[in-house]
Structure 1
Amino acid sequence: MKIHKEGRRILFFTLLALLAVNLLLYMFNEQGVGFNRVFSGVSVVAFLLLLQFFRSPYRNLLTHEDIVIAPADGKVVVIEDVHEPEFFDGVRKQISIFMSPINVHITRNPVSGTVKYFKYHPGKYLVAWHPKSSTKNERTTVVVETEAGPQVLFRQIAGAMARRIVWYVNEGDEVSQGEEFGFIKFGSRVDVFVPVDTDVKVQIGEKVKGGQTVIAQLKTPSPTLF
């Protein structure tokens, strides 16, 4: 396991700040030895928690042209048919994955194909499970035309704690299933929109792993007979 590039700067300066504060306490607060020790312990725990948040574990990626894999670690909180207004302007099946602060926060391409649409939306920071967070919060929208034919839309959505969304894709890019397309700092969710006839392979409340769990199987077009 390694540390994700998005966390290295934060971890470095956090470590420097904690070391500096602890050093100052031991130098100028000689009467408060007990407090100094407690603060040192809290500092270690806080840094370890931050360290685990930015972990980037090795994943044996599962890939296939007609499956949709989980774009992130977390828990499935929504499976329903909804009207998707931004790109499709029609009904699509939505699968949402909530990411808690203890999950790996790398976001991965759920399918392979060509990025046909990308847009970043500034917005609010409602809690990630709020019904309006998908359309009101800071978010990105990516649409990939898959190798199997159907188009799949997925969104990174910021939450009450997540104040920074990072993405690595642009319109026209060729993307590979399982590769990183971004990172969300400090908890949020990812929505995936697929055709309504897609066979969903997960259930509400199920825990999934990004790049490994199959969340749906696409209906591929039948071959034309001549």
Structure 2
Amino acid sequence: MDMASTFIKPMHPEGRKFVAIFAVIALILFVIWEPLGWLGVLMTVWCYYFFRDPERVTPDRTDLVISPADGVISLIEPAVPPAELGMADTPLTRVSVFMNVFNCHVNRAPVGGTVQAIAYRPGKFFNASLDKASVDNERNSVRITMADGRDIAVVQIAGLVARRIVCFTKPNEVLAPGERFGLIRFGSRLDVYLPEGVEPMVAIGQTMVAGETVIADLKA
């Protein structure tokens, strides 16, 4: 790996129009006052960095649950999966990964399996690190059925700054572990509902890397 690839990462296509907008604003600011123009350049670089989409090396074991997002574990608690997914109302262990505005926001499948349901629900925009964000905030829920018949729910939750949830996958599509399935713009959170009886292998405050960090072992 050379020095350039260490600092310059590929950008997700979703970010191209935003970087273009920031760049145009930077040019206008240069015309108004040069110091403002350089501030615009910095914001343009940040926007590019926000939409970066680096390659990840996902563990090749199919019995692992992988983090769907970069960020920090903010909550681990029992909770009922979103009702719109049609899962049982039995509380499951919910692991929440909070993403700040400096994290990579491309979301990846926590397990391999078939997408059984996708359900979008509009809502509010509380700080995504708060517990009530899972219930009150705008969200997009995905139910994935694994080869052994068990289900995992992964929920994209908009945050205080985020105003757009993007989901790339569709019902009946087969996802591989670590495969890109969505993106949330500008600060947000991902919730993973583990199958009944599965315990997490992570702790609150732990840093996650999407597509790489193991959240749980389905065989443990």
Mark yes or no: TM-score above 0.5.
yes
Residue by residue over 1:124-155, the C-alpha shift from the partner in whole angstroms, topping out at 9 and shown as x without a partner, is 11110222211211111111111233210010
| Deviating more after overlay: 191-200 vs 116-125 | 191-200
Query: CA offset at residue 85 of structure 1?
Result: 5.0
Gaps of 5+ in 1: 26-35, 221-226
Aligned-partner SS, 1:161: coil
Matching residue of 2:22: 14
Query: CA offset at residue 91 of structure 1?
Result: 1.4
Aligned residues: 209
Matching residue of 1:177: 177
Distance 1:47 1:14 in 2: 5
Query: CA offset at residue 42 of structure 1?
Result: 1.2
1:88-103 superposed matches below 5 A? 88-103=88-103
Structure 2 letter corresponding to 1:190: L
Whichever of the two has the greater Rg, that structure is: 1
Matching residue of 2:112: 112
Contact 1:66 1:148 in 2 (8 A): no
- Please say if 1:54 is aligned against 2:62: no
Query: CA offset at residue 83 of structure 1?
Result: 2.8
Matching residue of 1:4: 12
- Aligned-residue sequence identity (percent) comes to 36
Structure in which a larger fraction of residues adopt strand: 1
Gaps of 5+ in 2: 1-8
Query: CA offset at residue 75 of structure 1?
Result: 0.2
Query: CA offset at residue 194 of structure 1?
Result: 1.0
Contact 1:63 1:178 in 2 (8 A): no
Contact 1:65 1:147 in 2 (8 A): no
Q: Which of 36, 41, 44 is residue 38 of structure 2 equivalent to?
A: 41
- Please say if 1:66 is aligned against 2:63: yes
Structure 2 letter corresponding to 1:158: A
Distance 1:88 1:187 in 2: 30
Matching residue of 1:140: 140
